[in-house]
Amino acid sequence: MPDVQRAWDFLEHSDRIASAEEVQAAVRRVAAQIESRLAAAYPLVLAVMGGAVVFAGQILPQLRFPLDFDYIHASRYGAETRGARVEWRVTPPESVKGRTVLVLDDILDGGETMAAIRERMRALGAREFYCAVLVEKVLQREKPIAPDFVGLSIADRFVFGYGMDAKGYWRNLPEIRAMKGA
């Protein structure tokens, strides 16, 4: 049985980083950038489950061009707040070969997961690879990949909401919050 009080405690001990309105504006801006760059490419758009489900669900209706859609599930977190090795729960489809691929994800933290996704797409024969993230953390170290499209840049804090979770809680928040002291 889920610990409902623990979920409320997470929310109570957090700061709002971006309001629902700011997040929606960021999604609209990213959609316009993607459309400008990829409208003629007929891309294969892949959402990284489960974090990108909200971002993908909000951005896809704003992309006014033909595309194919599927999903992958690669994670380094699970129920933890720090990354570990990349775990593939749902691998990319064979239809990646020869395609322009756009991967949608909730957050680019250290970049290891997205870099592993890019390498898998290249190994499967993707013609071009692009990634769009709702949130990118600003870190004091170099990352193995830079996103092509970024909604919001944030400080290096543990964030949740709008698809991102806090130990399984609060993916459903319309805003983005950060744990206090994290």
Using 50, 70 and 90 to split pLDDT, how confident is the model at 24? very high
In the chain, what percentage of residues exceed pLDDT 90?
76
Identify the pLDDT of residue 50.
83
* Residue 124 β-bridge partners: none
Domain range 15-76+85-176, CATH architecture:
3-Layer(aba) Sandwich (3.40)
* 124: pLDDT strictly greater than 50: yes
Identify the pLDDT of residue 81.
46
Q: pTM of whole model > 0.95?
A: no
